Amino acid sequence: MKGTRKLKTIPAFKSESEERDFWAHEDSTDYVDWTQAERAVFPHLKPSTRTISLRLPMTILGHLKLLANKRDVPYQSLLKVFLAERLDREIVANRPPTSGRPKRRSR
């Protein structure tokens, strides 16, 4: 194939630490043809979670539990969904414009 180059061989590592150090200083494109890569899907992988303590006014908690009950889901799960949706909206809204012109806000 025209334009292909010979890739270096990935060395055998004695430990994860040694491998981590290697990849911290090496360019993976010298070792891997990323044009041949396929997207990996891990459908059963769950994100790491951390327990937090959150104080909410009783009215907010009551409304949350009522909505969760109507949807037949635990209120903590519904709260996580609400937080994730709002975070996504905030991140998109505060993303810098991709072009040189500022985005116009709709009124």
Say how far apart CA 7 and CA 35 lie, in whole Å: 13
User: How confident is the model over 8-44, as pLDDT tens digits?
Assistant: 999 999 999 999 999 999 999 999 999 999 998 888 8
Tell me if 106 is assigned to some domain.
Answer: no
Tell me if 101 is assigned to some domain.
Answer: no
Q: Could you give the number of structural domains in the chain?
A: 2
Structure tokens belonging to residue 59: 């009215």
Instruction: For residue 19, give its domain range.
Output: 7-35
Tell me if 64 is assigned to some domain.
Answer: yes
pLDDT, position 101: 57
pTM here is 0.49
pLDDT, position 103: 56
Q: What angle separates helix 75-93 from helix 58-71, to the nearest 10 degrees?
A: 100
User: How confident is the model over 56-99, as pLDDT tens digits?
Assistant: 999 999 999 999 999 999 999 999 999 999 999 999 888 887 76
Question: Is the same domain home to 28 and 53?
Answer: no
